[in-house]
Structure 1
Amino acid sequence: MTRFPTSALNAAAGGLLLSAALLSSCGSASAPTDLAPAAAAPRAAVTVGQIRLDTIREVLHLRAISAYPAKDVLRATTTGYLLAPVPVPGQVVRAGQTVFTLQTKESRTLRLDQLTGDPKLRFSGIIRIPSARGGVLATVDRLAGDYVQDGEQLGLVYDQTRFGFILDVPLTELRYVRQGQACRLTLPDGRVLPGRVAELLPAADLAAQTQRYTVRPVGRFPQLPENVAVSVELNKTAPYLARTLPREAVLTDETQTSFWVMRLLNDSTAVKVPVRPGLEQQGRVVINTPEFAPHDRLVLTGGYGLDDTAAVHLTN
């Protein structure tokens, strides 16, 4: 058995320990000394505001059609030929003004209109047809030179002083409409005219179950043709004060059975608060319950999709 010197064994052991120490130092240098900090949780950017007191009116929205209820039909009073000049549609006429002129067929055949020597021949065969009332000529049905029969319609005059709108009110809403009630008329181009409910017509639509009223514009109004559809707004209640929020601040689920708003607990946390919304008017929603304090901060925009307790970032 071979024996190694003790000094050689000690040197070898020392070398092994040095190698282990070096390997340990290299491994510790490559290992992380501590864990990386966790990423900060994202925050939703929101704008906030307070609840507001607004004057609210419950409004009934209906449709009406423009109409000229007073019309005069101008008819031929004899058989003959229509003489020039013939008026044009849209022409304004006065009460008693001659609108159409006829010449009888006998007068044209015998040329009675050209006989001037004998004073006994006072009948010239020229017939004048005046308008019974002032208004605007809506239609002209014949041209100069046309041969017309006795009683044939020549034109139609609308009495502009009787211009109005025909309003059909559902029988379920009759309690909100009365004669003399003020209303607002919105024309197709966006103009709004003041109006007033005038006459109650003694007729109801059997199929639609509606009661018919006439509505008259108040003050000056533009000249409109018949059969123009307008929107009519009538107040269902007297004005009252109510707490409102913008429509965007009131959130709901897919079935629109649950409603809520997001209220700030502090500058970085918002919580869900169930609400019972009411009437919506001009982009604002009445909040019936709960009663928020004037200093409560509520999320106006950016609250869509937030959880019950959400981290937020104020942008206003």
Structure 2
Amino acid sequence: MMKKSFTIYILISVFIISCKETPTAEEPTDVRVPVTLTSIDTTGLQSYIDLNATASYLVKNVIKANATGYLNSVNVATNDFVSNGQELFSIKTREAKVLGNSVNKIDPTLSFGGAIKVLSNTNGTVTMVNVQQGDYVQDGDALVTINDAKSFAIVLSLPYELKKYIYVGQQLSVVLPDNSTRIATVQKFSPTVDASSQTQNIVLKINGKQDIPENLIVKVRITKTSSNKSISLPKLAVLSDETETNFWIMKMINFDTAIKVPIRKGIQTEDQVEILSPVLKPMDKILLTGNYGVGDTIKVKVIKN
């Protein structure tokens, strides 16, 4: 009987101890959201737009035959660079070819039968040669086409609503496909607007040496707004509703609590957003990650400052 009572006592004791060690479901738990923080940036912001433009020679000179006859020499080929006054062709007329030797034998001082020179009238690159040596040409026939080096330009088709951001003499950044950059000066506006696209051609001249091939597509950066003194935050720190009409940030008020703060946006770039209101201070800490889909007030655990 005593052994049975002792066994019951032991079982009751074990049960009581187990109940004390098992936590109840009603015990409060410390749930904190892991977050990273950022602070304000006071450097200036610029809002800009990149538009495609094309490298082009605006003037293409066509050199024509200045006499009727046979091409005695062809001194130029496609892609050659030629200078103003350089001899490109020589033409010998039919009469000179037939009678030249006979006349010169009678009177060598006449120099009858010499070839007529055809000279370049510009500096530039040859894009097309239409003839070859020995061809018969008539006065006025097109012999060669030369891109006038002075006429090289970047042609930008500018939407008319953006014209207010461009003026003659303005310096603009031109970005090439290899990410190299050139500076170009706005030279002039086309007097007409394309009827279908409502764009106006703008001619830009590259500053310094011209080393861009024709027909290359480049990007011209146009600054729309600029702010030298501003308060901004990374885009990740700024939240919005589904309609993107209301914006807010999550701001730390102590070491483990963040609250929702409505804001008003200003200039926006690829990675920064200007904060117009409220006025944030340099020591303010703003949630960068862990801020999405949380309540107006949350407990946080900072994992990175």
User: Which residue among 100, 114, 139 is the counterpart of 2:128?
Assistant: 139
Q: Partner residue of 2:163? A: 174
Q: Partner residue of 2:41? A: 52
User: Which residue among 17, 23, 28 is the counterpart of 1:36?
Assistant: 23
Query: Which of 1 and 2 has greater Rg?
Result: 1
Q: 2:73–2:91: 8 Å Cα contact kept in structure 1? A: no
1:253–1:102 CA distance, 2 compared to 1 (3 A): farther
Q: Partner residue of 1:265? A: 253
User: In the TM superposition, what is the alpha-carbon distance from 1:142 to its structure 2 partner?
Assistant: 3.1
1:21–1:239 CA distance, 2 compared to 1 (3 A): closer
Whether 2:180 is the aligned partner of 1:191: answer yes
Whether 2:282 is the aligned partner of 1:294: answer yes
Q: What secondary structure is seen at the aligned counterpart in 2 of 1:19?
A: helix
Distance in 2 between the 1:211 and 1:124 partners? 54
Q: Partner residue of 1:232? A: 220
Query: What runs of 5+ residues in structure 1 fail to find an aligned partner?
Result: 1-14
Q: What secondary structure is seen at the aligned counterpart in 2 of 1:54?
A: coil
Count of paired positions: 299
Distance in 2 between the 1:115 and 1:24 partners? 148
Q: 1:113–1:125: 8 Å Cα contact kept in structure 2? A: no
User: In the TM superposition, what is the alpha-carbon distance from 1:121 to its structure 2 partner?
Assistant: 5.5
- Work out the percentage of aligned pairs sharing the same amino acid: 31
Amino acid at match of 2:228: Y
Q: Partner residue of 2:191? A: 202
Residues 74-97 of structure 1 deviation map (CA, whole Å, 9 limit, x = unaligned): 122344444444422332211111
Q: Partner residue of 1:117? A: 105
User: Which residue among 200, 211, 229 is the counterpart of 1:241?
Assistant: 229
Q: Partner residue of 1:89? A: 78
Amino acid at match of 1:206: A
Query: What runs of 5+ residues in structure 2 fail to find an aligned partner?
Result: none
1:152–1:85 CA distance, 2 compared to 1 (3 A): closer
User: In the TM superposition, what is the alpha-carbon distance from 1:195 to its structure 2 partner?
Assistant: 1.6
Q: What secondary structure is seen at the aligned counterpart in 2 of 1:285?
A: strand
Whether 2:266 is the aligned partner of 1:278: answer yes
Residues 3-27 of structure 1 deviation map (CA, whole Å, 9 limit, x = unaligned): xxxxxxxxxxxx3x87356324313
* TM-score, structure 1 as length reference: 0.80
Residues 260-311 of structure 1 deviation map (CA, whole Å, 9 limit, x = unaligned): 2221122222222222323222521111222212211012234334443333
Amino acid at match of 1:69: L
Judge which range, 55-64 or 186-195, deviates more: 55-64
1:144–1:301 CA distance, 2 compared to 1 (3 A): farther
Residues 28-85 of structure 1 deviation map (CA, whole Å, 9 limit, x = unaligned): 3145141338695454433212111121234354332222223211122344444444
Q: What secondary structure is seen at the aligned counterpart in 2 of 1:138?
A: strand
Distance in 2 between the 1:146 and 1:304 partners? 77
Distance in 2 between the 1:44 and 1:238 partners? 37
CA RMSD of aligned residues (A): 3.0
Residues 174-228 of structure 1 deviation map (CA, whole Å, 9 limit, x = unaligned): 222221222211222212211221123322212222233211122334x223332
Distance in 1 between the 2:112 and 2:23 partners? 118
Whether 2:235 is the aligned partner of 1:250: answer no
